[in-house]
Amino acid sequence: MLLRLLAAVVLLASPAAANVRATQAALPLEGGPDPYAIPVARTVASIIEYSRWPQDHPSIRLCMAGPAEHAERIAERPLTRSRAFMPLAIDTPAESLGQCDVLYIGRMGLDDQRRFTDAARDKPVLTIAENDPACRSQAMVCLLFEANGVSFRINIDAISRSHVRIDPRVLRLSVQGGAP
Amino acid sequence: MIRWPRRAAEEGGLPTLRTILARGHFRLVVLAVLLAAVSLTVGGAMLLRSYAQLNLQLAAKTLSYAVEPAVYFGDTEAVHEAIRSVDARETIQRIEVSGKADGLLVAWEPEAGRQDNAFEMWVSRLVWPSAVEMPIHGQSGDVIGKIKVFGSAHGLLSYSMMGVVVGLCCLGLTVLATRMLARKLEEEVVQPLVHVAEVAAAVRNEREFGRRIAPSSIAEVDRFSSDFNGLLAELEWWHKSFVSENQALAHMADHDTLTGLGNRALFERELGRAIERADATKQAFALLYIDIDHFKLINDTCGHAGGDRVLKEVASRLLAALRARDQAFRLGGDEFAVLVDAWGSEASPDHIRGRLLDAMAEPVALDEDEEIRILVSVGIASYPRDARDAQALVRCADQHMYTSKRRRNLRVI
């Protein structure tokens, strides 16, 4: 509830900034075989850095659902407070229960994505969708791949339901609008 | 009411009490106001400076908090946005955000037209000699970058300007109010003294010894006033007695003490005046010389008291017989003179002589049971018929009197 309020305040407070942000990519592309891999890793790691789970775990259990295209560098990112990523591949939504801190949803249909997000609802799981630019899958964070970089969209409704608390300052970094 | 400034000019350019008081008050007011203004300004400036310092630190802290995730993400656009959201134009002229390794991430300055002018830059450097530096802490408390904030005196100056305007208004009001109070005090002190000076001037110039100073509400002036009034009362008494003594002396100088008639000196003056008057008005007047027959005999037989009694009686009968505008004199001994002014047909000199003789016909009572009959000889000379000057007129009247006396004595003998 508090988070929803905070998010609403943040959203209301910066309509002008939102317009500016909507046209610009956040993180620039890097070289290498997949130019999106490093910005994606950086974005995901930063969001995780500014997120709080009800219980602190020594490692962040990063669950990969479905085939992810740009997620291969995420687990390499360093995390503060001597935590580390613990990547886990899951196939069914039921597997996410109690095992995952972060659920990275790869390329799949909207209905499949919904099944994963439904399973993660009301749990302390941060959901990130790779293939949902309009953010209709009820994932909390939806990555946006633009020509010159990577940015993200957030689903305030999903964030407010979730038990994971994301720093409102991070929410301001997201591309606003677009979610139905 | 004598106005003080004019009196001041009369007093040879000496400063008046009011000027001295006003000057003293003015200096006091200016000094007090200046002291207050200086201490307020210095105190205010110091307070303002320390608040500005705190404010800049607070702004740096706020900015550091606002840009933290953006710096962590490495998103320069987001850093810009966070800075814009803080909107610190009034206090900040430049912000530098640097990451841990990337060096300078973002340098923000107000857009053209809103930047500080040279004076504001100068004041800014004076207030904040160095930029405020604040480390940016990440989620785990480690430093992920730093922010440098350069203060701007823009807001401070407009605020100070307002303060200066308000302060000047207050100073103006203070000066006005103090001047009014000082003027009132001057009025209260100077007014009684002006009154004293006015009374003193009236006493000196117009001899108004009856004037007194009204009681004052100031103790010293009141004491002075009552002493001054006492002096005035004494002066008035002295003046009165001096005047009456003078009058008595003047009366004595030209009047006969026994009969109260004018003496020879007065007679000579009045005769001269009568001649002038007659010349001017082309009218005649007459001089009557009167002498009591055998006055020596009366003195010898009745004593000098009897003689005086006779002289007094003759004088009063003379006055009774004359008209109001005729004058009688005792020239000495038993000799009298009368000036009969411009007579009409009903009162010619001869007619008057007749009336005089009639008046003397009654015997003079010396005692309760002693009476004496007196005779007088009268000589008349009229001007300008008998003589053209005073001496000749007197001689003429004298001759006529002796002629008349001799004629009667012959007849008696």
**Per residue in B84-97, pLDDT tens?**
888 777 788 889 99
* Count of alpha carbons within 13 angstroms of residue B378, beta-carbon side: 21
| Mean pLDDT value across residues B289-305 | 86
Asked if the model's pLDDT at residue B413 lies above 70, the reply is no
pLDDT-derived band at B411, boundaries 50, 70, 90: low
Q: Closest residue of A to B73, CA-based?
A: A46
Smallest Cα distance from A27 to chain B, Å: 6
State whether B139 and A50 contact (CB < 8 Å). Answer: yes
Residue A65: which of A116, A111, A110 has the closest Cα?
Answer: A116
Cβ atoms B225, B213 nearer than 8 A: yes
Strand partners, B75: none
pLDDT at B217 over 90: no
- Across the interface, do A13 and B82 touch by the CB < 8 Å criterion? no
Q: Using the beta-carbon criterion (under 8 Å), do B75 and A167 form an inter-chain contact?
A: no
pLDDT of residue A180: 38
Rounded to two decimals, the ipTM of the complex is: 0.71
- B72 touching A (Cβ < 8 Å): yes
B264-412 — its CATH code?
3.30.70.270
- Chain B residues with beta carbon closer than 8 angstroms to that of A21: 77-78, 81
- DSSP letter, residue A102: E
Show the CA angle centred on residue A53, arms to residues A48 and A57, nearest 5°. Answer: 90
Exposed, middle or buried, A179 (CB in 10 Å: 0-12/13-18/19+)? middle
pLDDT at B369 over 70: yes
Q: What is the mean pLDDT of chain B?
A: 84
Residue of A14, A24, A169 with shortest CB distance to B77: A24
Structure tokens at A82: 């001597």
Of A26, A49, A172, the CB nearest to B72: A49
pLDDT of residue A143: 94
| CATH of segment(s) A2-173 | 3.40.50
Query: Is A17's CB within 8 Å of B81's CB?
Result: yes
pLDDT of residue B12: 62
Q: Which chain B residue lies closest to A166 (C-alpha atoms)?
A: B69
Q: The tokens of B217 are what? A: 């509400």
Q: How many residues does chain B have?
A: 413
What whole-number distance in Å separates Cα of residue B155 and Cα of residue B311? 116
Which backbone phi and psi does A161 adopt, to 5 degrees? Answer: -75, -30
Distances (CA, A) of B174 to B33, B167, B170, B181: 8, 10, 6, 11
- What residue segments make up the domains of chain B, in order of their start? 22-172, 264-412
**Mean pLDDT value across residues B52-71:** 89
Model confidence band, residue B343 (pLDDT cutoffs 50, 70, 90): low
Residue B178 pLDDT grade (very low, low, confident, very high; cuts 50, 70, 90): confident
The mean pLDDT value for B262-270 works out to 90
Residues of A in contact with B66 (CB under 8 A): 169
Alpha carbons within 13 angstroms on the beta-carbon side of residue B336 total 26
Q: How does residue B206 score in pLDDT terms, banded at 50, 70 and 90?
A: confident
| High-pLDDT (> 90) share of chain B, % | 14
Q: Does B78 touch chain A (CB under 8 A)?
A: yes
Residue B86 in tokens? 């803080």
Interface test with B, best of A56, A173, A174 (most B CBs within 10 A): A173
Identify the pLDDT of residue B5. 45
| Rounded (10°) CA dihedral A150, A151, A157, A159 | 80
Smallest Cβ distance to B75: which of A20, A50, A173?
A173
Q: Which of residues 308-367 of B touch A (CB under 8 A)?
A: none
Q: Find residues 183-242 of chain B whose CB sits inside 8 Å of chain A.
A: none
Q: Do A173 and B139 touch (CB under 8 A)?
A: no
Contact A81 B140 (CB under 8 A): yes
Chain B nearest-CA distance from A94, in A, is 32
Residue with tokens 């003496």: B263
Q: Which residues of B touch A42 (CB under 8 A)?
A: 73-74
Question: Which pairs with CB-CB distance under 8 Å and at least 24 residues apart come from B188-193?
Answer: B188/B217, B188/B218, B189/B17, B189/B21, B189/B218, B190/B4, B190/B16, B190/B17, B190/B18, B190/B21, B192/B216, B192/B217, B192/B218, B192/B221, B192/B225, B193/B17, B193/B221
Closest-CA distance, B140 to chain A, in angstroms, reads 6
Mean of the pLDDT values across residues B268-276?
Answer: 90
Nearest Cα neighbor of B188 from B222, B223, B227 is: B222
Residues paired with A87 in a beta bridge: A62
Query: A42 vs B77: CB contact, 8 Å cut-off?
Result: no
The residue to which tokens 């720093």 are assigned: A167
Q: How far is B62 from chain A (nearest CA, A)?
A: 12
Give pLDDT tens digits for B131-167. Answer: 999 999 888 788 889 999 998 888 888 888 898 899 8
Q: Which residue of B has its CA nearest to A172?
A: B78
Is the distance from CB of A41 to CB of A77 less than 8 angstroms? yes
Q: pLDDT of B10-37, one tens digit each? A: 456 788 877 888 888 888 888 888 898 8
CA distance B204 to B228: 13
User: What amino acid positions of B are annotated as catalytic residues?
Assistant: 334
Residue of A11, A40, A49 to mutate, interface with B, max B Cβ within 10 Å:
A49
In sequence order, which residues have a C-beta less than 8 Å from that of residue A36 and are 6 or more positions away? A29, A69, A70, A145, A150
User: Residue B324: helix, strand or coil by DSSP?
Assistant: coil
Of A24, A81, A169, nearest to B68 by CB-CB distance is A169
pLDDT value, residue B155:
83
pLDDT classification of B227: cutoffs 50, 70, 90: very high
Q: What are phi and psi of A49, to 5 degrees?
A: -60, -35
Strands (E) across B152-284 are located at none
Yes or no: say if B328 and B318 are a contact pair by the CB < 8 Å rule. Answer: yes
Give the whole-angstrom CA distance, residue B233 versus residue B210.
Answer: 8
Q: Which of A76-80, B247-251, B273-277 is the least confident region?
A: A76-80
Ranges of chain A with pLDDT below 70: 1-26, 96, 177-180
B66 to A169: CB separation less than 8 angstroms, yes or no = yes
- Sign of the CA dihedral with A105 first, then A107, A110, and A112 last: negative
Closest alpha carbon to A123 in A140, A143, A141: A140
CA dist B40 and A158 (Å) reads 58
**A11 Cα to chain B: minimum distance (Å):** 12
> Which of B55-59, B101-105, B293-297, B393-397 is predicted with the least confidence, judged by mean pLDDT?
B101-105
Q: Which residues of chain B make contact with A46, given a CB cutoff of 8 A?
A: 69, 72-73
The Cα A53–Cα B55 span in angstroms is 35
What sign results for the dihedral spanned by CA atoms B180, B185, B189, B191? positive
State residue B41's pLDDT score.
Answer: 86
Which candidate from A21, A42, A167 shows the least CB-CB separation from B69? A167
- Is B142–A80 a contact, with Cβ atoms under 8 angstroms apart? yes
CA distances from A101 to A123, A142, B107 (A): 9, 16, 37
Summarize the confidence of residues B343-370 as an average pLDDT. Answer: 78
Q: Which CATH number fits domain B22-172: 3.10.530, 3.40.1350, 3.40.50, 3.30.450?
A: 3.30.450
